[in-house]
Structure 1
């Protein structure tokens, strides 16, 4: 099968993004090199700068894409949850799937740290978080949660914080924090909340 130059370019970019995300998790944001990413992706180092204006641009795109994919899992969790309380519990259970030293948790932590130093990364990551808060707020509003916008912001901040704490608290966290987080949902009595 003959591939076009555009298809080959897309495949190379995808391999570079995957290699960059793996490298961030393995070496830390500042420990990633152009040569290392290229070797991991199986391409010549010159292709990194052919496809990206800089190594930082590649790292930013790779990290934001990975976190966007992770954030996208929220939609499936919420769709399967019959109540806000069940949704919160599902979010927390998903966190328990990360040890804190797994590649996803490390990529998450490294990206948040780097965002404090790079405006473009901070803005891109802020956009991802705003989208998560908006989707969660809409879902909470549909389930009768009082002040869904503020509640969504607090829940996202809590979940992010727990993800950042995973290396320090690698054991199960869902059961320990589910009660306080579900109580903050503040549902109307008419909504039939299963508050604990």
Structure 2
């Protein structure tokens, strides 16, 4: 049984992580301070460093948790999709929830930028991206898509780029980019027909 003190500590950590996820898109990674985190979470500044060794660690854990959570649903779609193009269409439909300027998109963008200056964060993000690509490549291999690992890498980078560009060009919708992505990931039947 968990003690009341441990439960309170867990709740404070959750509030701090939630505050970080809110502040990253509002202020930008480098502008989030101990004071801002403490105010948003409703705790004293000393509590921030009691639970996390640094603001950087707190921001990293919050952002990586958000990324894992967002991508966790994508893995299930690979199991449910009937074909490679079905998987691409489902990913594009999910992408429609994000404008490129919404809080979740901004967390991704800020985290990618921060990872260029933080080796630990970059390694952790690389693991998340590699896991996504591996699962997608496994699904592509089941659907007999040529070069599944290379295709998964290009599609993942394209989806990330679309998310980034949507902040500048809201016209990058699933309807406008779907036909192009579908050509990158043909179904096995189409591949076999082209070869024959």
Q: Same fold judged by TM-score > 0.5?
A: yes
Query: Following the alignment from structure 2 to structure 1, what is the Cα–Cα distance between the partners of residues 88 and 9?
Result: 40
SS at the partner of 2:132?
A: helix
Does the 8 Å CA contact 2:21/2:62 hold for their aligned counterparts?
yes
Unaligned runs of 5+ in 1: none
User: 1:51 is matched with which residue?
Assistant: 51
Give matches, 1:2-81, under 5 Å: 3-81=3-81
2:190 matched to 1:165?
no
For each residue in 1:9-60, what CA deviation from the matched residue of structure 2 results, as whole angstroms up to 9, or x when unmatched?
2221111111101100110001111111111111121111001110011001
Q: 5+ residue gaps in structure 2?
A: none
CA-atom RMSD in angstroms? 1.9
- Conserved 8 A contact 1:105-1:166: no
Q: 2:133 aligned with 1:130, yes or no? A: no
What are the residue-to-residue correspondences of 1:142-181 with 2, within 5 Å?
142-181=142-181
Question: 5 Å matches for 1:89-104?
Answer: 89-104=89-104
Cα displacement string for residues 128-151 of structure 1 (whole angstroms, at most 9, x for unaligned residues): 101100111111112221211111
May I ask how many residue pairs the two structures share in their alignment?
192
Q: Return the alpha-carbon distance in structure 1 between the equivalents of residues 34 and 136 of structure 2.
A: 37
Quick one: distance in 2 between partners of 1:152 and 1:83?
A: 14
Classify the secondary structure of the residue corresponding to 1:146.
coil
The corresponding residue for 2:85 is 85
Task: Give 1 or 2: higher helix fraction.
Answer: 2
Equivalent-residue separation in structure 1 for 2:91 and 2:139 (angstroms): 14
Paired position in structure 2 for 1:108: 108
